[in-house]
Homo-oligomer: A and B are copies of this chain.
Amino acid sequence: MIVGTEWLIEAEGCNQDKLRDETALRGIFARIIEDLGLKVIGSVWHKFDGEGGVTGMTALTESHLACHTYPEHGIATFNLYCCRMRPEWNWKENLRAALGAETVQVTRIERGSKIFYSPDPKSEIRNPKSKTAGGDA
């Protein structure tokens, strides 16, 4: 039983100033929401002090959107979880344009009673016999 799709995005080699720019990150969320026709319930945003990054979370009627940035590492992570079918957003081109991301890795996961992965070819898959955290044996 698939109840939704979640995309996990890792963007590397990003511009550090952009990763501290809450306005820029809010702008990315606004584009995603508009492009995919999503409906916002509410949001929480936070810029960590000094050189710190930004956390953004938006609850959607279709589920949620989140980002966390790590300026010291040039990395930003995004999550988009949609419980209704949506077209694929062009994360690679859009994050390159908005954040200067050099590489963008996209993993798609079906949520529900069985999880099916579409791992990015660059990712490594750990042996399923390695530790799992508190699930059924």
Binding site for B on A (CB under 8 A): 1, 3-4, 6-8, 10, 12, 41-46, 48, 55-59, 61, 63-64, 66, 68, 70, 73, 75, 77, 79, 81, 83, 88-93, 103-109, 111-126, 128-136
- Which B residues touch A115, using CB under 8 A? 8, 10, 105, 107, 119-120, 123-124
Query: Knowing that A10-B113, A117-B123 are A-B contacts, what are 19 other residue pairs whose CB atoms are under 8 Å apart, sorted by A's residue number?
Result: A1-B75, A10-B114, A48-B61, A55-B59, A57-B57, A57-B66, A68-B81, A77-B111, A93-B134, A105-B135, A107-B132, A114-B123, A115-B119, A117-B119, A118-B130, A119-B126, A120-B132, A120-B135, A121-B129
A7 CB to nearest B CB, Å? 6
Decide if B66 touches A64 in the complex (CB within 8 Å): yes
Decide if A133 touches B91 in the complex (CB within 8 Å): yes
Tell me what chain A mostly uses at the interface: helix, strand, loop, or mixed: strand
Which residue of B41, B116, B126 is within 8 Å of A46 (Cβ)?
B41
- Which B residues touch A58, using CB under 8 A? 44, 57
Q: How far is the CA of A119 from the CA of B129 in the complex (A)?
A: 9
